[in-house]
Structure formats: C-alpha cells, structure tokens
C-alpha cells in the first residue's frame, strides 16, 4: 500500500483524447496531502474531446458507426465513446460516408474523430457516375464496318442512360452467332455504376458477344431480303407505269 507524506501533491492529467471538464468554480489539476491525513483539492473529470459536426455531402449521407463497427442505422448509437446527444461527435467516434445511386464516393469511406479535435483523412465528395462513349467498343465516328448501315442513339452519359444501336430503314439486325437474333430489333447498352457500358439485351455476356462480332467482321445490319410482289390492279381504268 502506497502512502504519502504531508505536503506531497498528486498531479492529474487526462488520457489521450480527453480533457478536464471545467463546469465552473475553482477546478484544480492536483490534490495535496494535509497534516490530518486528508487530501485537499478536487480534480474535475476527464471528458472526451469533441470534433465539429461533419459537413453534409451533396448527393450523399453521413452516419455514425456503431460501437462494434456494425452496419449503420438511423438510430442513436449506444457506443460508450459517442455522446448521448447524437449531434455531438467525440474522440473515437467514427462516421461512414455513402453516396446516392448514380454517384461514386471519392475519398475515404470512414473518418474518425482524433485526439486533436479534427477528423481523420480528407473530406470526401460524391461524383456523378459517367460513361465515356469511347469505352463502348462498337461505337466509333465514323462508324466501323460492323456497324455500317446502323446508327447509335445515346440518351446521355450518366448512370442509367442508354445507348441504342438501330439499323437504318431497309436493313435488319442479324446476329448469326445467336439463335434468337431474329427477335432483336436493336442492341442496347446501359451506363453501369462502374462507369462502363453493359449490354442490356438478353445476351449472356457482353464481352463475348462483342468479340464474336468483331471477329466475324461483317456488318450487323444486313439488307432486308423480303420483296414486295407485283400488285394486282383492282381499280378500273388504271395501270402501273
């Protein structure tokens, strides 16, 4: 058992990430041993350092993580290192950023309130997912031989936008390597979340389809084979010229 002599002092300091809580009155950081064997002085409690509220993310959300790093929820966390007031962020608190559908997070997913009262890492932001037409293998300007007699109609370059390849009048889409090609009137790609164009039609794999088309080297749009028969003249006093 440790004992202390009259006049000796014990100086307190807070652990990393904590500061003394000054709630008014005379608050000391040490206590002194009196001649009657009683300690004189009162040391305030150590409270966690607070970080400023994280700024809102345009097209995204900021949420507190749970104490055990579980998935996020909208309820107030029960972690011991998070203030009872969900609007206050203290040392050790972690937040997770996410973006709305069609947007991609640029920067850290998780940030932590540090001992200096600042958030770790740089502030992230949400960028809109875009798809470059140059990454659509069959698209070129001027068109390549396999897309002759056809045209691309592109609704946009953002997530969910479509790129349709349609044959010009007098031509039909022919895909000999697929038995059900007769039922297709157009090929459609959609802008995917990873920024690439993904074939939207009922074709097993887009990459294998494109490879087959390029290897075949023939135009996807072939002239219609159907001919109109000579009409029978039914009206009186008229003829075909």
Token output for 72: 């996020």
CATH H-level superfamily of 49-128: Complement Module, domain 1 (2.10.70.10)
What are the residues whose beta carbons fall under 8 Å from the beta carbon of 234, sequence distance 6 or more?
none
Task: Give the pLDDT of residue 213.
Answer: 83
- 219-234: burial string, b at 16+ Cβ within 10 Å, e else: bbbeeeeeeeeeeeee
Residues 146, 144: Cα–Cα separation, whole Å: 6
Give the residue extent of every domain in the chain. 9-47, 49-128, 133-223
The answer to whether the beta carbons of residues 53 and 89 sit under 8 Å apart is yes
Compute the residue count for the chain.
241
For residue 62, say if its preceding peptide bond is cis, omega within 30 degrees of 0.
no
Task: Give the pLDDT of residue 175.
Answer: 76
Token output for 38: 């009683």
Task: Give the pLDDT of residue 83.
Answer: 42
pLDDT in tens, the chain (241 residues): 889 999 999 988 899 999 888 765 555 688 999 999 899 888 888 899 999 999 999 999 999 886 545 433 333 333 334 444 456 899 999 999 999 999 999 999 999 999 999 999 999 999 999 999 988 889 988 888 999 999 999 999 999 999 999 999 999 888 766 555 556 788 999 999 999 998 877 665 567 778 888 888 888 898 987 666 776 666 566 666 6
Instruction: Read off φ and ψ for residue 224, nearest 5 degrees.
Output: -65, 135
Task: Give the pLDDT of residue 208.
Answer: 76
Residues 122, 110: Cα–Cα separation, whole Å: 10
Q: What is the dihedral of CA 176, 180, 186, 192, to 10 degrees?
A: -100
pTM (global) more than 0.95: no
Task: Give the pLDDT of residue 179.
Answer: 52
Task: Give the pLDDT of residue 227.
Answer: 65
Per residue, what are the HEC states of 81-140? CCCCCCCCEECCCEEEEEECCCEEEECCCEEEECCCCCECCCCCEEEECECCHHHCCCCC
**Edge-to-edge strands of the sheet including 197-199?**
150-154, 162-167, 186-191, 197-199
Q: What is the DSSP letter of 214?
A: H
Residues 90, 50: Cα–Cα separation, whole Å: 4
Task: Give the pLDDT of residue 88.
Answer: 83
Question: What H or E segment, with its residue span, contains residue 210?
Answer: helix 206-216
Task: Give the pLDDT of residue 17.
Answer: 93
- Give Cα 150 to chain centroid, integer Å: 35
Task: Give the pLDDT of residue 5.
Answer: 92
Task: Give the pLDDT of residue 70.
Answer: 47
């Amino acid at each position: 058992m440790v004992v202390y002599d009259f006049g000796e002092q014990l100086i307190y300091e807070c652990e990393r990430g904590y500061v003394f809580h000054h709630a008014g009155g005379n608050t000391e950081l040490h206590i002194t041993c009196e001649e009657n064997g009683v300690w004189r002085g009162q040391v305030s409690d150590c409270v966690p350092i607070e970080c400023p509220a994280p700024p809102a993310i345009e097209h995204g959300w900021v949420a507190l993580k749970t104490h055990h790093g579980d998935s996020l929820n909208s309820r107030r966390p029960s972690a011991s290192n998070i203030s009872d007031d969900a609007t206050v962020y203290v040392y050790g608190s972690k937040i997770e950023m996410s973006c709305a559908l069609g947007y991609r997070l640029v920067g850290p997913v998780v940030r932590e309130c540090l001992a200096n009262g600042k958030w770790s890492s740089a502030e992230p932001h949400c960028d809109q997912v875009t798809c470059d037409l140059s990454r659509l293998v069959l698209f070129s300007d001027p068109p390549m031989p396999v897309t002759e007699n056809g045209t691309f109609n592109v609704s946009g370059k953002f997530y969910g936008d479509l790129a349709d390849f349609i044959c010009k009048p007098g031509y039909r889409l022919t895909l000999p390597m697929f038995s059900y090609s007769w039922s297709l009137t157009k090929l459609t790609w959609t802008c995917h979340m990873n920024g690439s164009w993904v074939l939207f039609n009922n074709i097993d794999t887009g990459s294998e389809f494109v490879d087959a088309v390029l290897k075949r080297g023939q135009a996807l749009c072939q002239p219609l084979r159907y001919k109109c028969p000579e009409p029978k003249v039914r009206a009186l006093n008229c003829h075909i010229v």
